[in-house]
Amino acid sequence: MDFRAELKKLLAVVAVFVACFYLPVGAGRFDNAVGEALALVKWYAREHVLLCLVPAFFIAGGISVFVGQASVMKYLGAKANKVLAYGVASVSGSVLAVCSCTVLPLFAGIYRMGAGLGPASAFLYSGPAINVLAIILTARVLGLEMGIARAVGAVVFSIVIGLAMHFIFRREEIAKANAQAAMPQMQVNRPLWKNAVYFATMVGILVFANWARSGDVRAVFLCCPGGLTTYNIEGTLVSKTEKEVTIVDTGGQKHKIPAELMEGMEDVEKRGVYEWIYRLRWFLVAGLLALFAAEIWFWFVRAEVVRWIESSWGFARQILPLLLIGVLAAGFLLGRPGPGNEGVIPNGWVNAAVGGNSIWANLFAAVAGAFMYFATLTEVPILQGLIGAGMGKGPALALLLAGPALSLPNMLVIRSVMGTKKTAAFVLLVIIMATVSGMVFGTFY
């Protein structure tokens, strides 16, 4: 018997027993935090798994099966042309418009296919950070200077973070490049244009299936003198008068909100082309699904489809459990935005910590943003409420640059893909750069 190993097991059992013995069940904040963790998981399952993650898993599986490894290495590999590799990776978010969790299967797919650490890290950051719609909404709701700073910062961040990751782990990247140079070319089973149409169809399904979720009144966070927020609603704006605004939430419940409490509501209403796409989104998705079924039937053989499904399931099996644990932890610690939705960490602590433009305020905002989970576009109204409650513009930018690209669930999955050291380096780079950017921005604004 290994005495030390058995002693460690005994100490672990004792620690778990003590934690259970003193579990603060019945304490209001603890019970509320448990409820918030479960509520966040329920919301995540309803709003993200079917329409966001499932298409992303299939895209990632398609990358690993149908995209030749030589092609990935040519454009994103360790020996690829740096201008092309970082250029492609840094603007990917403008097309995908995904959140920090939806980008994970796509990142895992290209990384395992041989993409260099630098371009893969740039893609990992840019996917959720460089969202054209989010940047436009930021400029309209939080001010033009904030929108420009977010756009410039996100693009620069993705490139700098990618280059920094490549430099930090350059020995491993050199070894990977040498190994890749000796690999044979993979046989191509179909023309490039067919693969391009196949992936474009899946990306179209992902984008249009989530169009309503990205363009509706995604979360109405209203600032008032008494606290951070007044309402926390996700749904569709159905009417607006001088006295009240009516919103139907995602559960079908109707909410009437006094108009005088609304701030900048006109900035998040749907207009123009976006409104037409919103109304036709399910017809577009149905058409793309029909096209996708035809592509699978006519262009692919049975063995390829089986390998594609197996690969997609492999990504789901690895990523979903970690996301579940991460979402539970994020909900327990931080809760959901809104009154009565606090986790074990009070919202008041956040409000008090992000005022002014000190290094502490910017660092706190960057760290808090890195660990919180932001669905696409929710960061804008959340920050609207925080700024109204006294948050400085520097810390606001720091949170904007760190928040959408990272989250606790996101970190757990990244660690399973590229290891603890690389994950720690990536997270620290994002936090440090967000902090410095916030301080510089806050100095001038």
Which SS3 state, helix, strand or coil, does residue 247 take?
strand
pTM of model > 0.85: no
Give me the half-sphere count of Cα atoms (radius 13 Å) on the Cβ side of residue 15: 6
Tell me how far apart the alpha carbons of residues 250 and 234 are, in angstroms, rounded to a whole number: 6
Instruction: Tell the burial category of 231 from Cβ atoms under 10 Å away from its Cβ (0-12, 13-18, 19+).
Output: middle
Q: Which residues of the chain have pLDDT under 70?
A: 1, 48, 67-75, 77-80, 92-102, 131-134, 136-137, 140-141, 177-190, 212-240, 248-255, 257-275, 334, 336-340, 347-348, 350-351, 374-378, 380-382, 384-386, 388-390
- Read off the amino acid at residue 159: I
pLDDT, position 347: 67
Cβ atoms of residues 272 and 133 within 8 Å: no
Place of tokens 């939430």: 249
Instruction: Tell the burial category of 181 from Cβ atoms under 10 Å away from its Cβ (0-12, 13-18, 19+).
Output: exposed
Which SS3 state, helix, strand or coil, does residue 403 take?
coil
DSSP letter, residue 228: S
Tell me how far apart the alpha carbons of residues 102 and 52 are, in angstroms, rounded to a whole number: 6
H helical segments located in 45-81:
54-66, 69-76
Which SS3 state, helix, strand or coil, does residue 226 take?
coil
Tell me how far apart the alpha carbons of residues 145 and 149 are, in angstroms, rounded to a whole number: 6
| Dihedral pair phi/psi, residue 342, rounded to 5° | -80, 150
Strand order in the sheet with 244-249: 235-240, 244-249, 254-258
Length reported for the chain = 445
Tell me how far apart the alpha carbons of residues 444 and 434 are, in angstroms, rounded to a whole number: 16
The CA-to-CA distance between both ends of the chain, in Å, stands at: 65
Return the percent helix, strand and coil in the chain, to nearest 5: 70, 5, 25
Count Cβ atoms below 10 Å from residue 3 Cβ, excluding itself.
7
CA dihedral 86, 91, 95, 99 (to 10 degrees): 90
Closest C-alpha to 332, from 361, 359, 366, 371: 371
Tell me how far apart the alpha carbons of residues 286 and 197 are, in angstroms, rounded to a whole number: 16
| Dihedral pair phi/psi, residue 267, rounded to 5° | -75, -15
Tell me how far apart the alpha carbons of residues 165 and 387 are, in angstroms, rounded to a whole number: 33
Tell me how far apart the alpha carbons of residues 332 and 121 are, in angstroms, rounded to a whole number: 29
Tell me how far apart the alpha carbons of residues 249 and 182 are, in angstroms, rounded to a whole number: 56
pLDDT tens digits for range 418-431: 889 999 999 999 99
Count Cβ atoms below 10 Å from residue 87 Cβ, excluding itself.
14
pLDDT, position 428: 93
pLDDT tens digits for range 207-242: 788 775 444 443 333 333 333 334 445 556 666 677
Tell me how far apart the alpha carbons of residues 141 and 216 are, in angstroms, rounded to a whole number: 15
Closest C-alpha to 392, from 352, 436, 341, 346: 352
Tell me how far apart the alpha carbons of residues 25 and 58 are, in angstroms, rounded to a whole number: 41
Q: Give the CA angle between residues 330, 331, 337 to the nearest 5°.
A: 110
Tell me how far apart the alpha carbons of residues 56 and 209 are, in angstroms, rounded to a whole number: 12
